[in-house]
Amino acid sequence: MVDVKKVTKLLGEVVSPARVSDKDFDLIPYSRDLSPAKQKLPTHVVIPETREEIQGILKIANEQDVPVYVRGGGTSHWDAFLAQEPGIMLDMSKMNKIVEINERDLVATVQPNCTWAKLDRELRKQGLTYLCSEAGGPAMTIGGSVMKAGSGPHSTAKFGAHGNNDAVTLEMVLPNGDIVQTGSAAWPSAGKFERQCLGPDLAGMFIGAEGILGICTELTMRIRPATDIQERLLATMPTLDSVIEFGHFINRHVGDEYLQGVYLWVDPSAPDVFTLMMDIFGYEEEIVNHRRSKIIAKVEELGGVLGDRAPADDYFGHILTGLTDLFVAGVWHFFGSGTLRIDDIKFMYDVWKNELIGKRGYVKAGFGGQILPRRWLAFMVTNYREPEEWDELVKMCDEIDEIILDGPVVPYGVGGRDGLRNIVASRDTGYYRLLKTLKRTLDPKNILQRGIFIPEEELR
């Protein structure tokens, strides 16, 4: 049982008391994310400004046996930061600075709650860019994107998910308060330019772990020169097989893919109409035109029909400038999602068409996919308005997730008990057992993100 007033007093000695609260009216905004997960109220919210304050907070948490949950921009779609048990919500919003832009080494160092918009705005002043690829676009925090290994439709066909290639170094505060640098930053005299350093790639241990192994306080990302050349295409493909062949085509040139982004959309009102929106990027107009002609020729060879590029311009433009109308139709919920081989997208499509639309008669969820290097990130997505649709939606999504994850699909986003945690835990793979061993070693009191990714009872 958390001694709320005692913890409040102790936290107020580490950070300013003005940045600590145990009042319900302050806690309630931290009790929901963008998923249908049930409301989960923390006992405290605390807003740190430095890594040293985070160290102090974790010391209190260990001594008082109070779990700590980490909130970035609050845009999780799978119960990934909510307080699974009464505990401290760490609001990282104050840690949002751009530390350095190194245009010679083409890296930028930022604090975790710097948004893509803030970074890109400063990069553009120097003729540079990041090529934001999160579906939430510029409002997404960089730390949140990397810690969950996020991705989106823009630039991921070439560069993959966040953290796969672009995260260079990380600064992490471990659950015991130790500060760890990864990559070349681990060698103090070297600088921040190299992902691999001193043996294993420790950054890879933290990326995608949803914060259960450490709190990111700084990260260095690869950046690129900007270009004003933009070319977008839209095509309607005749079959899913033609979409699959197109996916293989643009992934053939490893490291030099024809496209930066490909977004597949299938509307439930027309489940046999496959729309591809494509984003071409290049530093020379001649190269962009060459790629455009090759793509058009392949689309036509596969029986596709090119259409007005305006929807693609609008879509990819919104990804980079802000999705202000995203929630007009209600809250978006992604389910039945994961990464899979290019050929295996047919499995997920069949589940969507036959199980969701055909068997259950649910016609509000669309089917989408984004090409990553040599694979798809595919998903089903719907809108919901609470509370009328909540119970039906959760039951249906759980059933679909079980079917999907029994197939050739790697889950995307695990989260807590209202996410995919229980499905992942039930598989009891060697990988999962190793993750539990790492968690017990780094966090013996299970302070950080307790109940996220791994059920509490499995760590006792």
pLDDT at 254: 67
pLDDT at 211: 95
What is the average per-residue pLDDT within 226-254? Answer: 91
Q: What is the mean pLDDT of the chain?
A: 91
What are the start-end ranges of the E strands in 282-411?
Answer: 305-306, 331-340, 366-372, 375-384, 410-411
The pLDDT of residue 20 is above 90: yes
Buried b (16+ CB within 10 A) or exposed e, 65-87: ebbbbbbbbbbbbbbbbbbbbeb
pLDDT at 136: 60
Reported as a single tens digit per residue, the pLDDT across 156-205 is 778 888 777 789 999 999 999 999 999 999 998 999 999 988 789 999 99
For residue 388, what pLDDT band results from cuts at 50, 70 and 90? confident
Q: Which of residues 19 and 132 earns the better pLDDT score?
A: 19
User: Of 11-15, 329-333, 346-350, which range is least confident?
Assistant: 329-333
Sheet with 20-21: list strands edge to edge. 20-21, 44-46, 88-91, 68-71
What's the distance, Cα to Cα, between the start and end of the chain in Å? 17
Highest mean pLDDT among 7-21, 363-377, 418-432: 7-21
pLDDT at 265: 96
Give the burial class of 443: count Cβ atoms within 10 A of its Cβ; 0-12 exposed, 13-18 middle, 19 or more buried. buried
For residue 13, what pLDDT band results from cuts at 50, 70 and 90? very high
Tokens 């070693």 sit on residue: 441
Length of the chain: 460
pLDDT at 394: 87
The pLDDT of residue 319 is above 80: no
What is the average per-residue pLDDT within 249-257? Answer: 80
Question: What is the pTM assigned to this prediction?
Answer: 0.93
Residue 291 Rama label (left phi>0; alpha psi -120 to 50; beta): alpha
The pLDDT of residue 87 is above 90: yes
Q: Is 158 helix (H, G, I), strand (E, B) or coil?
A: helix
| Overall fold of domain 231-411 | Vanillyl-alcohol Oxidase; Chain A, domain 3 (3.40.462)
Instruction: Answer whether 90's CB lies under 8 Å from 57's CB.
Output: yes
Q: What residue ranges do the domains of the chain occupy?
A: 1-92+428-460, 98-225, 231-411
CATH of 1-92+428-460, one of 3.40.50.720, 3.40.50.300, 3.30.43.10, 3.30.420.40: 3.30.43.10
What is the average per-residue pLDDT within 260-284? Answer: 93
> 216 forms bridges with which residues in the sheet?
172
Q: Which of residues 78 and 245 earns the better pLDDT score?
A: 245
What is the average per-residue pLDDT within 431-437? Answer: 94
What are the start-end ranges of the E strands in 92-140?
Answer: 98-102, 107-110, 128-129
The pLDDT of residue 403 is above 80: yes
Domain 98-225 has CATH 3.30.465.10: yes
387: preceding bond cis by omega (within 30 degrees): yes
For residue 15, what pLDDT band results from cuts at 50, 70 and 90? very high
Instruction: Answer whether 169's CB lies under 8 Å from 220's CB.
Output: yes
What is the average per-residue pLDDT within 266-274? Answer: 97
State which H helix or E strand residue 314 sits in. Answer: helix 310-321
For residue 152, what pLDDT band results from cuts at 50, 70 and 90? confident
Instruction: Answer whether 114's CB lies under 8 Å from 219's CB.
Output: no
Reported as a single tens digit per residue, the pLDDT across 105-115 is 999 999 999 99
Instruction: Answer whether 130's CB lies under 8 Å from 320's CB.
Output: no
Structure tokens that stand for 139 in this block: 């409002």
What is the average per-residue pLDDT within 244-260? Answer: 85
